[in-house]
Amino acid sequence: MHAAAQDEAHDEFFPLVPAPQDGSRWQAPTDLEQYLYKLSRADNAYAYLRTLAIEGVYYPVRLDQAQAAGEDEHPMLTIETPDGHTAAQVYTPGLLPRPHPFLVYEYATLGALAQIVPEDVGVLAVNAATPCEQYFLISDDEREVWLDLHHELFSSDALMDRVTTRRTGAPAPGPLLHGLACGAHLCYANGDAWNTLHWHGMGYRGEVERIADSWGVHGREDWLSVQERLLDREVSPWYWDFVLGARTALARARGGRVDPGEWRDTVETTLRVRAQESGNAGDGDAEFAGFVAHLRALVGEVLRYEARFRADGLLPPDGFVDTIAAWDIGRASKMARWGRGARYATEAEMHAAIERASGEARAAYDSWEEFSAGYVLGRCLHFDEEEFGPWYTTVLDAHLALTTDPESPWRTVPFKD
């Protein structure tokens, strides 16, 4: 069911981050923890609590208990304090420790915490043993405050569509960091820090459900299969790049722009030659004739998308897309992390997959802008059906943010060395 990673056992169950000893300002992992550090130093517990209501928190659970829990069950690891209280520990995402083979973290809103923290728990310890720690006594009235703040402040949409960058704990420049940046479209859409390796995502249950619902991944073997197919660029239909490749070949032969009619004819001719050579279809094959017509029509679809891309600044005035490889590569970068969050992948497997994504991206493209255009076209061909609706506009927003935000990986990580 999950990755056998006994060799990855370690004692980093909970964060342990000492405060600076020389009185200097602490450099927090992300802006969220930096803000909470400021509030904790100012002893502004209510503003701190309001921030938790906006962002949510993560709490530790034994993996075996998390796996055995029913949909309405929420096991939670608690501790006994020296003064005899029972405490629940919760953390903000930038402080979550390296994933452990026997311990996971679940995500909860402040409103959910009000309902799932056991009745015998008297203290909520937030970011304990870190410079931005804060403690709250729990009572029935306090739980009501949490619920009120949740209803006032929480919006899942507000946590999405943003560039988030770790300032500490990220990998050094190299294939691993570059491979993480290949998943930036999805990190932006989900509001995740793009350069986080200690991946917990939506929490253990959230990561399991995410790839089960969206990808049909229900265990380790499923994950290994999907991950390999994405890295081999076999999830997207082969004929998308076949059509794009026909134009590239013509452009090289002609030394300039390609006539759309000649492009369509080349697609059809090449397809028929290959079919005859393989003996897979004849002139009277209605299904094959329909496929040929579909690919001829795909030429027009690509041209119309590229025209819109140029108008929206996603492509330069004379630009076009050579390959949609980025659509699979970008998702492969995130699938590696999702598999780790669901405990289907070992740490070593996640690293290897992310580094392979980096290599595939660099082999297919020359810049982040080219990579992004390929990703967007793949997403549009997959979902949008030339409606230029949210499947297009949301990823266009991601492209514009990632190519302009000074903290974006595409402004800080060179595409090629």
> Mind giving me the DSSP string for 188-250?
HHHT-BTT--S--TTBHHHHHHHHHHHH---SHHHHHHHHHHHHTT-SS-HHHHHHHHHHHHH
Q: What is the pLDDT of residues 144-189, one digit of tens each?
A: 999 999 999 999 999 999 999 999 999 999 999 999 999 999 999 9
Measured distance CA(400)–CA(409) in Å, rounded: 13
- How would you list the strands of the sheet with 78-80, edge to edge? 78-80, 86-90, 123-126, 134-137
| Residue with the two structure tokens 């990703």 | 375
| Residue with the two structure tokens 């020389």 | 22
Confidence band of 297 (pLDDT split at 50, 70, 90):
very high
Predicted local distance difference test score (pLDDT) of residue 278? 80
Measured distance CA(270)–CA(273) in Å, rounded: 5
Give the residue from 330, 310, 348 showing the smallest Cα distance to 402: 330
**Stretch 362-385: mean pLDDT:** 98
How high does pLDDT run on average in the chain? 95
Predicted local distance difference test score (pLDDT) of residue 361? 98
The first and second tokens of residue 211, run together, are 């790839």
Confidence band of 83 (pLDDT split at 50, 70, 90):
confident
Measured distance CA(371)–CA(368) in Å, rounded: 5
217 and 344 in contact (C-beta within 8 Å)?
yes
The dihedral through the CA atoms of 265, 267, 270, 276 has a sign that is negative
Measured distance CA(126)–CA(112) in Å, rounded: 15
The dihedral formed by the CA atoms of 175, 184, 330 and 189, expressed in degrees to the nearest 10: 160
Predicted local distance difference test score (pLDDT) of residue 275? 87
Evaluate if residue 257 carries a pLDDT over 90.
no
Measured distance CA(7)–CA(27) in Å, rounded: 31
User: Percentage of residues in the chain with pLDDT exceeding 70?
Assistant: 97
Predicted local distance difference test score (pLDDT) of residue 231? 98
Confidence band of 282 (pLDDT split at 50, 70, 90):
low
**Stretch 285-305: mean pLDDT:** 95
Evaluate if residue 284 carries a pLDDT over 90.
no
Q: What is the pLDDT of residues 188-240, one digit of tens each?
A: 999 999 999 999 999 999 999 999 999 999 999 999 999 999 999 999 999 99
Q: Kindly report the backbone phi and psi dihedral angles of residue 155, in degrees, each rounded to the nearest multiple of 5, phi listed first.
A: -145, 120
pTM as predicted: 0.94
Evaluate if residue 115 carries a pLDDT over 80.
yes
Measured distance CA(3)–CA(99) in Å, rounded: 12
